[in-house]
Structure 1
Amino acid sequence: MLLTPVGIDIAKSVFQVHHVDADTGQIINKAIKRASFLHYFANRAPCLIGMEACGGAQHWARELTKQGHQVRLLSSRFVKAFNIGNKSDAADARAIWLAVQQPGKCVSVKTEAQQAVLAMHRMREQLVKMRTMQINALRGLMTEYGEVMGRSRAVLEREMPGTLHRLSERLPAMLIDTLRDRWNEVARMDEQIARIEQRLRVWLKQDRSCSAIAEIPGVGLLTATAAVATMADPKSFRSGREFAAFLGLVPRQHGSGGKVSLFGISKRGDTYLRTLLTHGARCVLANAKDPGLWVEQLKKRRPTNVVVIALANKLARIIWAVLAHGRTYEKGYASVRPV
């Protein structure tokens, strides 16, 4: 059955809808209030609905799917190419309507549980950034009074009590109390981060997919849970190579006149998961007793950072293979193409 394409530009209160009426051929581009949005599609025949993958898109995609519609979440970079003329809600909805009819990779619709795991990762990431900012601010304030401490967190924890004691002898008590409060806030952030990681660890043990890829060297708690939640459905990627390209772990290409030039990695896709895979690859190179013959040969002819990205790319492909084929990780496994 041919589905009617519909482009939706979602917002906080007013959604813009663009489609062509299948019976009359009339172009419809109208604004709909948030409260009436689902009701507008409730009694319609199944449609091919396109939306930009932005805030709130996952929720509306799940709700529209329940009504029998087919929903495609599109990257904003892909939609931008179809926006002609001045930017407005109506023009954006028309661009999405054009884009949803084109072949291309769309963002997977995640379940509420998968989205909850990603929300935990975002909150943890925010706490880590705030903790780093707090530590750097304290170190900078101490420097203003002649107390210079090392960059290591361990050095800071060892020297902070003595530093505060020395400063209390010549600075106002109100400043010392405030500095001590800020230092205690760092410890509270540590506790919050630890609690989030404990909750993620419980989910890892309960989820079979997370437990399977956690056996891969270089894939730990954060990488395993983030990879499963980000990928959503492994079958939405045709191969591990496509998943690695989705994460931006493949070379950027520029071709003209039949000549293709390769540059550094494209850095497209999910920055957070790409960073985790890169750190995991660094850990394997630094700590693994036997990283494998492939890695050893690559290290002889390529710089260290190139080897790290190549190994991160391989980790992404292994993760996809384990999840897509329902296998357990085997170190010596060799893929054989069917004859």
Structure 2
Amino acid sequence: MTQTIVGVDIAKNVMQVHWVDPETGEIVNRPVKRAAFLEYFANRHPCLIGMESCSGSQHWARRLIEMGHQVKLMPAKFVKAFNIRNKNDAADARAIWMATRMDSKEVAVKTEAQQAVLALHRMRQQLVKFRTMQINSLRGLLTEYGEVMGVGRTALDRAVVGILERLSGRLPAILIDTLREQWKGLDDLDRQIGQIERRLNEWMKGDQSAKAISVIPGVGLLTATAAVATMGRAKAFKSGREFAAWLGLVPGQTGSGGKIELQGISKRGDTYLRTLLVHGARSIIYRVKEPGPWVAQMKQRRPLNVVIVAMANKLARIIWAMLAHQRPYRKDHESVRPT
């Protein structure tokens, strides 16, 4: 029997479903309320269900897979190309149905544990952003009163006590007290960030994959846990090259008539994991005494930032190879092209 392909447009309260009956050719495009969504697929034969990768899609994908269906999550940019007319729920569901029929790279369906780790990373990232905003805000406010200090947390902690003492005789106490409270609030943010990192460390101790790749130079706690949780299944990628391209660590291409021009890195995929890999590669280039002959040769031919991105690409390939083939890290390993 031919497998039915169903396109689903996810929403908060009403889902739009589009599919074509393989026997009669009848086109079905109808709304389904959230409470009856799973019941709609409960008694159906196994289907290929396509959805945009968005908020809530991972939850619905897991539930539908438990029912025996096959789920294909797709990036919203890929689906958008198939919606060529009006933007509404019915048109979106039809575009998703059309995109599901195409051969495209899927977004991995993650387990609840993997999503929990990614949630910790997102909350930590938000706290770090708040801390940076708070530091810059304090520096900017104090500059208005002629007090200039160096960039960074260390410079702020070193100078802010003396600055507040000097300004206490000139400015109202309500402002001085508020500035002091804002500075003390940075310690609370530090404590919350440290607590999340300790929880990530505890999770990594119990996860063999994250523990295995954490020994790679340039891959620490954050990169190891984020890579395992973001990747989902390593076998979902055909090769380490595809995984690196999925992260946007390869050059973009433009060309016509057989002439191809390489541009900067495409910056597609997960920005957070790509940033961690680039920072890890930068630590190897700057801090490792002998990063290897490959890095030395690259530095002679290419700019430093290009070498850093190339090293990040290499780290991504190493991570995929270790997880896909279940092999430990070996510093002296040399890849051999298959014959």
**TM-score interval, normalised by the smaller of the two chains:** over 0.9
1:158 pairs with 2:150? no
Structure-2 separation of matches of 1:259 and 1:159: 57
Misfit runs of 4+, over 4 Å: none
Secondary structure of the equivalent of 1:103? coil
Would the aligned equivalents of 2:38 and 2:64 in 1 still touch at CA under 8 Å? yes
Secondary structure of the equivalent of 1:177? helix
Secondary structure of the equivalent of 2:289? coil
Secondary structure of the equivalent of 2:107? coil
Secondary structure of the equivalent of 2:6? strand
Secondary structure of the equivalent of 1:72? strand
Q: Give the aligned partner of residue 188 of structure 1.
A: 188
Would the aligned equivalents of 2:80 and 2:95 in 1 still touch at CA under 8 Å? yes
1:126 pairs with 2:126? yes
One-letter code of the match for 2:219? V
Structure-1 separation of matches of 2:127 and 2:266: 28
The aligned runs of 1:219-230 (5 Å cut-off) are 219-230=219-230
Q: Give the aligned partner of residue 314 of structure 1.
A: 314
Q: Give the aligned partner of residue 260 of structure 2.
A: 260
One-letter code of the match for 2:138? L
Structure-2 separation of matches of 1:323 and 1:219: 14
Q: Deviations over 1:292-327 (max 9, x none)?
A: 110111111111000000000000000000100000
Q: Deviations over 1:145-174 (max 9, x none)?
A: 111111121111111111111111121111
Structure 1: unaligned runs, 5 residues or longer: none
One-letter code of the match for 1:231? M
One-letter code of the match for 2:200? L
CA offset at residue 196 of structure 1?
0.4
CA offset at residue 179 of structure 1?
0.8
Secondary structure of the equivalent of 1:289? coil
CA offset at residue 214 of structure 1?
0.5
CA offset at residue 337 of structure 1?
3.4
CA offset at residue 277 of structure 1?
0.3
The aligned runs of 1:34-113 (5 Å cut-off) are 34-113=34-113
The aligned runs of 1:259-338 (5 Å cut-off) are 259-338=259-338
- How many residue pairs get aligned? The number is 339
One-letter code of the match for 1:235? K
CA offset at residue 190 of structure 1?
0.6
Would the aligned equivalents of 2:78 and 2:99 in 1 still touch at CA under 8 Å? yes
Structure-2 separation of matches of 1:111 and 1:121: 16
Secondary structure of the equivalent of 2:252? strand
Q: TM-score, normalised by structure 2?
A: 0.98
CA offset at residue 212 of structure 1?
0.7
Q: Deviations over 1:28-81 (max 9, x none)?
A: 101111111001000111000000000000000000000000000001111111
1:10 pairs with 2:10? yes
> Once the two structures are aligned, what percentage of the paired residues are identical?
67
Q: Deviations over 1:169-222 (max 9, x none)?
A: 121111111111111111100110000001001111111001111010000110
> What is the RMSD of the two structures over their aligned residues, measured on CA atoms?
0.9
Would the aligned equivalents of 2:2 and 2:22 in 1 still touch at CA under 8 Å? no
Q: Give the aligned partner of residue 197 of structure 1.
A: 197
